[in-house]
Amino acid sequence: MHVVGALAALLVFLPLGAGVLLLTGAWRLARGVLRVGLALFAGLATGAVVLPPLLYIGLSPTIPVVLLLGALVLAAGVVVARRRTFSAEEGGSREEMKAVSIGPLGLLVIAAPLVLLAVDRVRTRITTHDAYANWMLKAKLLYYDGGTFLGALDHRVFAVQSGAAPGHREYPIGVPALMAVVLHGASGNVPDAALLYPALLGGFALVMWTVLRPRVPQWPLLAGLSLVLWQPMTRFLALDGTGDLPVSVFFVASVLLFGLWLAEETPGALPLAALCGAAALACKRDALADCAVLALFALVETFRSRRPDLIRRMAIAVALMFGSIVPWRLFVSLHHLRTPEVSLGSKHLASNLHHVGYIAGLLAHRLLGGNYAYVVPIAAGVAALALVRGPSRRLPTAVAVFGLGLFAVLIVVYVNATVNLGSLLRLSAGRTVYPLTLFAASILPLLVVRVLREESRGQEAR
């Protein structure tokens, strides 16, 4: 029954997500089951962004709170969507966007690994130190403390140093807040409530389908989805119960949606991209570095278009994305919570600088491992091939520059380590490279198809 309750609790994010899709204009991106899946993913992303500030002001992450929030956002979304349709019809400029759909085969390819993962998830207890000392402990405390509407954030635990307080109290609490809502459905059963993880992964797969399906034939895209979903590290992190999977799926979903908007200015893609980026920032501190690279890349790419309207819209989206972290940073600052491991511009920077080669080598060694199904070297190889062969070099250049940017920013983060660099790398490198591998895996179908299409066009011309 806990499993049914957990699944029902996940569904309470649906009205919230539907409202967000209507508000952002992303409602027309997809139709049918795909739209429902996108709405759930958008609802979870919104929950990750909105629930922590609500916690800070005294509201609890409970099912009634999420439903009330969902009702408000859905009502606002319906009004805004009606006005948008009305004004478009009045102006006679109603452009029909072709909504993406997903068939039974696509659903089967996504559902098969997810169902296996979900079965594993409910049968797997939480045993990773990070999970039980930090993420799930916070979620349990948020679930048990507080009432139906108020008072779940106990400052004795989250803000003041006490006996065995949760680890990393300086982290954002998006994931524990989402977990706490699902725990209300699962009657406090943590392994069942962690069905949140397969749900997030499924939502990400549907975002990937929405973005890539109009550009990639069905079979290569199905193979690409399998690569993402069957990747051993994906499974490991989904069973782990830490913040690494949520932060990665929200971040890479944001990358794909920003890419979609940069390539085609698809209506609704930009606000949804900013929302997913904000959700990544609400999940883990690591996302600050990844999202900084994403924001820089997106802004530079938009500036190159020399179109003031696009630059303005992108600047607003990036500002809103980073603006979402203000409540969390205020809470951390007010309670003097500091991270003991990494601090930008720390005095350790000078002593760590000569370790750059060691850091890069160890990160590269992880990326070349079988746990990531070799996706990064394959994607790098395909991008290099596309760059050499041409004629269209925009996509491979963007993938290469962005991938190198993510890799470089990881080096910058580790160079600023304030603890023993070797042990920090050994403990965390396998997880911190995951967003990069997920990005490589999700963009690989598009890259491969583009390269082969150029090849066949070349042969056709010859």
Interface with other proteins, residue 224, by CB under 8 A:
yes
Q: Tell me how far apart the alpha carbons of residues 341 and 371 are, in angstroms, rounded to a whole number.
A: 25
Identify residues 353-382 at the interface with other proteins (CB under 8 A): 370-371, 373-375, 378, 382
Cβ distance 251 to 287 under 8 Å? yes
What radius of gyration, in Å, describes the C-alpha atoms of the chain? 22
Interface with other proteins, residue 144, by CB under 8 A:
yes
Interface with other proteins, residue 136, by CB under 8 A:
yes
Q: Which of 75, 79, 82, 219 forms a contact with other proteins (CB under 8 A)?
A: 219
Nearest approach, Cβ of residue 87 and other proteins (Å): 41
Interface with other proteins, residue 126, by CB under 8 A:
yes
Cβ distance 392 to 446 under 8 Å? no
Closest by CA position to 16, among listed 245, 181, 255: 181
Q: Tell me how far apart the alpha carbons of residues 186 and 194 are, in angstroms, rounded to a whole number.
A: 9
* First-to-last C-alpha distance (Å) of the chain: 64
Nearest approach, Cβ of residue 139 and other proteins (Å): 9
Interface with other proteins, residue 452, by CB under 8 A:
yes
Q: Tell me how far apart the alpha carbons of residues 56 and 77 are, in angstroms, rounded to a whole number.
A: 26
Interface with other proteins, residue 420, by CB under 8 A:
no
Nearest approach, Cβ of residue 448 and other proteins (Å): 4
Interface with other proteins, residue 83, by CB under 8 A:
no
In a 3-state reduction of DSSP, which class is residue 313?
Answer: helix
**Piece of the chain touching other proteins by CB under 8 A; list 32-40, 132-140, 207-215, 270-278:** 132-140
**Piece of the chain touching other proteins by CB under 8 A; list 8-16, 124-132, 260-268, 343-351:** 124-132
Interface with other proteins, residue 137, by CB under 8 A:
yes
Angstrom distances, CA of residue 419 to CA of 128, 193, 393, 414 = 21, 33, 42, 10
Interface with other proteins, residue 453, by CB under 8 A:
yes
Cβ distance 104 to 210 under 8 Å? no
Identify residues 148-177 at the interface with other proteins (CB under 8 A): 156-157, 162-164, 166-167
Interface with other proteins, residue 82, by CB under 8 A:
no
DSSP E strand boundaries for 44-135: none
What are the tokens at 144?
């048990």
Cβ distance 202 to 84 under 8 Å? no
**Piece of the chain touching other proteins by CB under 8 A; list 93-101, 121-129, 249-257, 334-342:** 121-129
Q: Tell me how far apart the alpha carbons of residues 26 and 20 are, in angstroms, rounded to a whole number.
A: 8
Angle formed by the axes of helices 33-56 and 174-185, nearest 10°: 110
Nearest approach, Cβ of residue 434 and other proteins (Å): 15
Q: Tell me how far apart the alpha carbons of residues 81 and 89 are, in angstroms, rounded to a whole number.
A: 12
Interface with other proteins, residue 459, by CB under 8 A:
yes
Interface with other proteins, residue 388, by CB under 8 A:
no
Interface with other proteins, residue 217, by CB under 8 A:
yes
Cβ distance 340 to 419 under 8 Å? yes
Nearer Cβ to other proteins (264/455) = 455
Nearest approach, Cβ of residue 370 and other proteins (Å): 6
Cβ distance 217 to 449 under 8 Å? yes
Q: Which of 99, 223, 360, 387 forms a contact with other proteins (CB under 8 A)?
A: 223
Closest by CA position to 301, among listed 289, 318, 287: 318
Nearer Cβ to other proteins (93/459) = 459
Nearest approach, Cβ of residue 62 and other proteins (Å): 15
What are the tokens at 422?
């070797």
Nearer Cβ to other proteins (269/438) = 438
For binding to other proteins (CB under 8 A), which residues are involved?
116, 120, 123-129, 132-133, 136-137, 140-141, 144-145, 156-157, 162-164, 166-167, 217, 219-220, 222-224, 226-227, 230-232, 235, 370-371, 373-375, 378, 382, 444-445, 448-449, 452-453, 455-456, 459-460
